[in-house]
Structure 1
Amino acid sequence: MKMKQSDKIKSEENHGDSAIYYKRKLNAYNFTIYENHSRDGYCYIWDECNAQKGSNEIATCVFKYLQSLPDTVTHVSSFSDTCGGQNRNKHICAAMLYAVINISHLEIIDLKYMESGHSYLEADAMHATIERARKHKKIYTTREWALLISAARINPKPYIVNILTNSDFYDFKLLTKQVVQNTTKNTDKDTVNWLKIKWLRFTKLKPNVIMYKYDLDEENFMEININQKRNAKAVDWQQVILNKAYNNTLPITEAKKKDLLSLLEAQVIPRDYESFYHSLPSSSRILRKEDSEDEE
């Protein structure tokens, strides 16, 4: 599994104007999953007006992928990089516990994390293929990214592309607050070092337990009981309701919109896209940093 910020929706190339080059662009995000056995590639894409790029978004993409699997799949094992703010945190754990209980055919979900700086994933090859397809092309909207990605590979089959909007994302952070009481102490009362975890396991047989290892070669899993109190009532995952993460589209900064409209005025962005860029919501009261990731 891999998360990549696509080249920002843009087209300032070949204009030779550094002032244009440094204009703010609209961010587009692409989360990729590569299936080793089928060689299928899945891409989930959205732009910054529909969602951010943190643990809620990553958990949603993984959850949607798990939901799409055929009933014959009982055990899923994934390999990904080690970005704590996105894919190795308590919100991902809450999402996977919810998934393994509520997706009837799934029995076990394994999340394995590669050594930072020493990993190569097939999803990286997908990104390289998409970059080659993008070369010398001008892309102005998220839908155009989707078309390009779906045509980036022919053999063995095109990538499967899903465009996500703000209504598609679930609030797994809220789920965590509702059901996860403990992520710091394991069942042996030892402190959990999340930065060292290399393997997370979730199983139907232990619906309130996060299993983990610090090394892929360790023989036994350690366990975290998410119920903090010894006699706490176990979570009934089948009764848990997932809430939406966003009620509306997200505004960009007024400065960014001003830059985008200036590119439109300079015809760096063609006039055909005028209604799209004029319709982008903006606000002067945005506190989040440009291109920031979740910090858990």
Structure 2
Amino acid sequence: MRKPGKFNHKFNIAFFVPKKDHCQACVTFENSSEEEKKKLEDKHNSHIEEKQLSREEKKTDKERSSSLYQVACFDLQATLPTPNGQVSSFYYRSKLSTYNFTVADLTQKGQGSVNCYLWHEGQGKRGAIEIGTSLLHYLKEKAAVCNNDNLEIVFYSDNCTGQQKNKFIIAAYLYAVANYKIKAINHKYLITGQRPFFNRKERQKGFKIRSHLYAISVCSYNTNLKKTGKPYNVIELSHEDFFDLKHLTEQTTVNFQKNTDGETFKMADASVIRVEKSHLDSFFYKTSFKCPDFKEVKLISGRRSRTPLSTFSGFEMKKVYSNPLPVAKKKYEDLMYLVKTNAIKKCHSYFYTSLSSE
């Protein structure tokens, strides 16, 4: 049998290597002049070191994973335009934005489950509320399956402050450890420029959802998305599913500015966030993967209001949306045009006509 290398060389063909996002910090350094590089050298070396340490940390956690120490990474995929197909008129019309938030278990054999939380702009937005609700759904499911008070969960994600690196997500974690059978949650942020998996997967031609999505449904989404291993678990979310995490945060916490040493805490500087069932009035953080110890932030420190704070344990969550979200008038008109001209199959027409417009 001819070796692949010789075959590729002789016939001038090769396997396609998916592109990946470039780190802005590294590109900035590469594009700088020699004089500028000297000024940026220390900062750049520190950035490279942190990047390497985060990768090693992720590898170590993956090797350590077990039934009581579960590791997962998550990411929000690039917006999926709906409908999306080969019809030429689709290109010239505004389309509905569909969101896919995916949480993938990291296991030694690579056979962990993958949960895809799916919703569209008529049901929710794409911020901390929606991401936090999806994570609570995932955590509740894991706690129920494990059914052990010693369960510890580790998350890896990118550094997006608007979606998963903010006080609302920390409050959601504290709610989870207070109400589910979870001992602790660690959230480790990959260095800016690193993404868990979508920078590669989104460009694979085998990810057929991008070319054949006509309506938001498990049937239309869960077709041939994974060739081997466990199929994806697709969970459709509606406006009724999303929790008001801002209300949760306001009613249970006050301080996110100072740690117990009196130092200023900046969320953007955090590399690791940790919450524990034994410390529901605090969260812990590290600003570098090199740091051996955590620093603590007391959530009730420096409180000014005299109104009693609620506790995370047994807190009654509120729904953030009482009704479906309206779609922009121009977008709604374009979608109705596609329905009336039968560019969208009639079996999917009700999905679009049921949308509300501004």
The residue that corresponds to 1:273 in the other structure is: 348
- Give, in angstroms, the shift of residue 5 of structure 1: 3.6
- 2:240 equivalent to 1:167: yes
Compared with structure 1, are the counterparts of its residues 147 and 124 closer, same or farther at alpha carbon in structure 2 (3 Å cutoff)?
farther
Query: Radius of gyration: which is bigger?
Result: 2
- Give, in angstroms, the shift of residue 271 of structure 1: 3.2
* Contact kept in structure 1, 2:85 and 2:214, CA below 8 Å: no
The residue that corresponds to 1:142 in the other structure is: 216
- Residue 187 of structure 1 aligns to a residue in which SS? coil
The residue that corresponds to 1:116 in the other structure is: 192
The residue that corresponds to 2:48 in the other structure is: none
The 5-angstrom pairing of residues 1-296 of structure 1 reads 1-11=74-84, 13-15=86-88, 20-37=90-107, 38-69=111-142, 70-72=146-148, 74-104=151-181, 106-117=182-193, 119-122=194-197, 127=202, 132-134=206-208, 137-143=211-217, 147-149=220-222, 151-229=224-302, 235-283=310-358
Give me the whole-angstrom Cα distance separating, in 2, the residues matched to 1:150 and 1:191.
Answer: 49
- Give, in angstroms, the shift of residue 64 of structure 1: 0.6
Q: CA RMSD in A?
A: 2.3
Give me the whole-angstrom Cα distance separating, in 1, the residues matched to 2:344 and 2:220.
Answer: 18
Give me the whole-angstrom Cα distance separating, in 1, the residues matched to 2:259 and 2:135.
Answer: 25
Compared with structure 1, are the counterparts of its residues 212 and 53 closer, same or farther at alpha carbon in structure 2 (3 Å cutoff)?
same
Compared with structure 1, are the counterparts of its residues 236 and 177 closer, same or farther at alpha carbon in structure 2 (3 Å cutoff)?
closer
What amino acid is the match of 1:97? L
Higher helix proportion, which one?
2
- Residue 289 of structure 2 aligns to a residue in which SS? coil
Give me the whole-angstrom Cα distance separating, in 2, the residues matched to 1:74 and 1:82.
Answer: 25
The residue that corresponds to 1:294 in the other structure is: none
Comparing 199-208 and 228-237, the one that deviates more: 228-237
* Contact kept in structure 2, 1:77 and 1:110, CA below 8 Å: yes
* Contact kept in structure 2, 1:80 and 1:113, CA below 8 Å: yes
* Cα deviation digits, residues 176-226 of structure 1 (max 9, x gap): 111110111111111112111110000011111111111122011111111
What amino acid is the match of 1:256? K
* Contact kept in structure 2, 1:59 and 1:92, CA below 8 Å: yes
What amino acid is the match of 1:108? A
* Contact kept in structure 2, 1:208 and 1:234, CA below 8 Å: no
TM-score between both structures, scaled by the size of structure 2: 0.71
What amino acid is the match of 1:27? S
Give me the whole-angstrom Cα distance separating, in 1, the residues matched to 2:83 and 2:333.
Answer: 14
| Long gaps (5+) in structure 2 | 1-73
TM-score between both structures, scaled by the size of structure 1: 0.85
* Cα deviation digits, residues 142-200 of structure 1 (max 9, x gap): 106x5433531142110111111111111111101111101111111111121111100
Give me the whole-angstrom Cα distance separating, in 2, the residues matched to 1:7 and 1:46.
Answer: 10
Give me the whole-angstrom Cα distance separating, in 1, the residues matched to 2:238 and 2:192.
Answer: 31
Give me the whole-angstrom Cα distance separating, in 1, the residues matched to 2:112 and 2:201.
Answer: 11
Give me the whole-angstrom Cα distance separating, in 1, the residues matched to 2:125 and 2:254.
Answer: 26
| Identity level (%) | 28
* Cα deviation digits, residues 236-281 of structure 1 (max 9, x gap): 3223111111111111011110111122233322333333222210
